[in-house]
Amino acid sequence: MSTQDLYGTPLDTSNPEIRLLEIVEDRDVISCKLHTVTFSKQLRFAALSYVWGSAADRVNINIDGVEVPVSTSLAHALKEVRGYWRYEFPDRDQSKFRIWVDAVCINQADTAERTEQVKLMGDIYSSADLVLGWLGSEQSDKILTAVTTTVVLNRAFRAAKWDVDNLMDLKWLRSCGLTKEPECDKFWASLDDLALLPYWRRVWILQENVLASTLFYIAPRVCIEYSSLMNVCRMFEILSLELTQKQATKPSFVPSHIWMKFCPPKGTGFIQLRNIFRFEIAKTMYKEILTESREEQQRKTVQLSVFGGTLEATDPKDHIYGLLGLSSLPLSPDYTKSVRDVYVDYCKAVLDIIGRSDRRELQFLRDAGSGVFQDPLGLPSWVPQFPSRATDNPTLIFDGEFNLARLTPEILWPSISDAKLHVSGARLQTLKRVGGNPEIQNLQKGGILADWVQDYITRIPFYPTKIPSIWALFLVVARMQKLSLDTPSMLLLLNFTQRLDLQIPESGRPRGATKYFQTPEVDGLSVMIVQDGGNNPEMMGCISPFLGGPDELKARMFDVDVQQVFMMKRNYHTKLFETDAGYLGMGPQDCRVGDVICIVDGYEDLVLLRNQGDDYEYVGPCMVYGITDMYIKRKVEDGEVAVETFHLV
């Protein structure tokens, strides 16, 4: 018999049927039977949530006398699942144990069946008595250590009554043995190992986790319930946010690399547990959709669909279809459609959703752009590049708050036709010069951007918005939309100017009276700024005399130095540019001279468009220091800028 003979009669779609796997033998060899049953809420079964693994790593299992090749990962999982069903349901007849496994319960060679079964997957996982999340067997020792660490953290958080205020001093870390080097390192490393498992990176697995009513994560010799793991991840996230927002300083007993687990430099995303916690975020959003107002339901439906771009899928269509079970998007899986049509249909569905609300949010532009992502699939430049985003560069976000409809309310609603996005917008400036990626080592002397930056500062030492250009440069590469004279920001600016050590021309403008300003002390540190109207105000770091002298200041500035380096690392896939108006900005890695800086309806960041005859290519988001809502409003009122319709291809 062949594998195709295994499936026999096609499944009935009018009275939905599914196949369930009965495991007859799971020791030396795996022997199973397939049962076709009518799907209903009364069915008693388990469902497996797992990563298929390497296509080259196969073993055979026996199903109804047919040798069926499956991945080693799946084979190992099938050896474990009966034991956990027995653990959860010891009073049930174990001979009636059945489990749903997509790879063998769906005839993968039958596109029509696959399409119909995908429509049922949401109901399958929400109806299963038990969902087993198989983490794999390759790193079972590390997973065991991670679960042990999670149990320790859970105990500490429970002792603190899950109150973040009781955890802020981090003394509990010491009592748990999680600060003693080098013994503690393996425990912290194991949490990273757990969070980096392939299991947390698959799009279908997110849906399976969100819909499961009872979920165990399992590996050989290891089992942890969903709630136990997510409670630790949630508390870790809350504690990290509190420590960051309150600008807490590192306790002396906490090693620096462990402190970084709680307070990573801004924008670096070092907290690996967030890979796991996003599953809980999605689950919370899904539950809220069921109870909130219609407008909030629509907004969160779109937000949930975007999770598909952060996770991997073998079939590009599954970035869209893999989460339909969680959303009310007006879409149905259809694997006969081209990838291009699937993504255009997704964007139409998003427009349909937001068209029912007052929010004009073209969320999909955040994950699009020919200058941001590679496009091996030939998609329109404006549709989300979920496959590339999941495996390549992260999304570019500059935290803008632009709103064209607020500035010019009478504009057309965005629309899609013939695979083109028709959207209102306005041209603001054009790219005149493009440099390299502004990581700190590239900006310093000897770096690939050093001469480019020095040339700009020499020509334009004082920025068009009336601040020193070296300050504007810092704000751009730090992705700060406005200058804030708070101590943490000014410490970074001080460090930045010292690192670059640029030759800044003297000002030819009349000097006013010298002004002195000192930022408020934060943990004993502050910054003195001497302003005399010149192009390079003098700045100096200050430390409270109660904390020590120059040596202590130097030691404290080392932490600022580290933060600067890591903060700039996120710029590795961007380029610095100068506009035709002398402004500085940062955009995608493939931005080019001639690209047009625009504001477009429904997107909060500025964007770059590239002319293609009568149409435009969407290059990606950008930021330009000095282009603000007020700047655009004045330009519109003066007639220098006009709203038009862009046709994006």
Question: Could you tell me which residue, 327 or 232, shows the higher pLDDT?
Answer: 232
Tens digit of each residue's pLDDT (9 = 90 or more) over 224-279: 999 999 999 999 999 998 998 887 888 889 988 888 888 876 655 446 888 999 99
The answer to whether the beta carbons of residues 217 and 223 sit under 8 Å apart is yes
Residue 100 has pLDDT above 60, yes or no: yes
Only one residue has tokens 């410490």, namely 491
* H or E, element range at 630: helix 629-637
Beta strands in 361-419 (DSSP E): 415-417
Q: What is the pLDDT, as a whole number, of residue 266? A: 60
pLDDT band at residue 134 under the 50/70/90 scheme: very high
Neighbours of 602 (CB within 10 A): 23
Q: What is the pLDDT, as a whole number, of residue 328? A: 81
CA 392 to each of CA 198, 318, 387, 588: distance values in angstroms, whole numbers, following the listed order = 15, 17, 8, 14
For residues 111-120, average pLDDT: 91
pLDDT band at residue 506 under the 50/70/90 scheme: confident
Q: What is the pLDDT, as a whole number, of residue 9? A: 86
| Burial (CB count within 10 angstroms: exposed 0-12, middle 13-18, buried 19+), residue 114 | middle
Q: What is the pLDDT, as a whole number, of residue 483? A: 86
Residue 186 has pLDDT above 70, yes or no: yes
Residue 437 has pLDDT above 50, yes or no: yes
Q: What is the pLDDT, as a whole number, of residue 223? A: 94
Tens digit of each residue's pLDDT (9 = 90 or more) over 166-178: 999 999 999 999 9
CA 222 to each of CA 79, 139, 244, 268, 447: distance values in angstroms, whole numbers, following the listed order = 14, 11, 33, 31, 49
Q: What is the pLDDT, as a whole number, of residue 358? A: 63
Separation CA 370–CA 382 (nearest Å)? 8
629 Cβ contact list (under 8 Å, min separation 6)? 401, 402, 403, 406, 407
Amino acid at 345: D
pLDDT band at residue 142 under the 50/70/90 scheme: very high
For residues 491-512, average pLDDT: 87
**pTM of the entire predicted model:** 0.88
Q: What is the pLDDT, as a whole number, of residue 312? A: 92
Q: What is the pLDDT, as a whole number, of residue 649? A: 98
For residues 470-479, average pLDDT: 96
Helix (H, G, I), strand (E, B) or coil at 363: helix
Q: Which residues of 443-482 are buried (b: 16+ CB within 10 A; e: fewer)?
A: bbeebebbebbeebbeebbbbbbebbbbbbbbbbbbbbbe
Question: Could you tell me which residue, 89 or 390, shows the higher pLDDT?
Answer: 89
Domain ranges of the chain: 4-134, 140-279, 438-572
Only one residue has tokens 């989460």, namely 323
Percent of the chain scored above 70 by pLDDT?
Answer: 98
Q: Cis omega (within 30 of 0) on the bond before 182?
A: yes
Amino acid at 127: S
70 Cβ contact list (under 8 Å, min separation 6)? 58, 59, 60, 61, 103, 104
Only one residue has tokens 């952060």, namely 310
Residue 1 has pLDDT above 60, yes or no: no
The answer to whether the beta carbons of residues 207 and 120 sit under 8 Å apart is no
The answer to whether the beta carbons of residues 475 and 483 sit under 8 Å apart is yes
Q: What is the pLDDT, as a whole number, of residue 359? A: 66
Tens digit of each residue's pLDDT (9 = 90 or more) over 27-84: 888 999 999 999 998 899 999 999 998 878 899 999 999 999 999 999 999 999 999 9
Going edge to edge, which strands form the sheet with 130-134?
Answer: 66-71, 58-63, 30-38, 17-26, 99-100, 46-49, 130-134, 215-219, 222-225
Residue 203 has pLDDT above 70, yes or no: yes
For all residues of the chain together, what is the average pLDDT?
91
Separation CA 16–CA 35 (nearest Å)? 14
Separation CA 178–CA 185 (nearest Å)? 8
Q: What is the pLDDT, as a whole number, of residue 270? A: 47
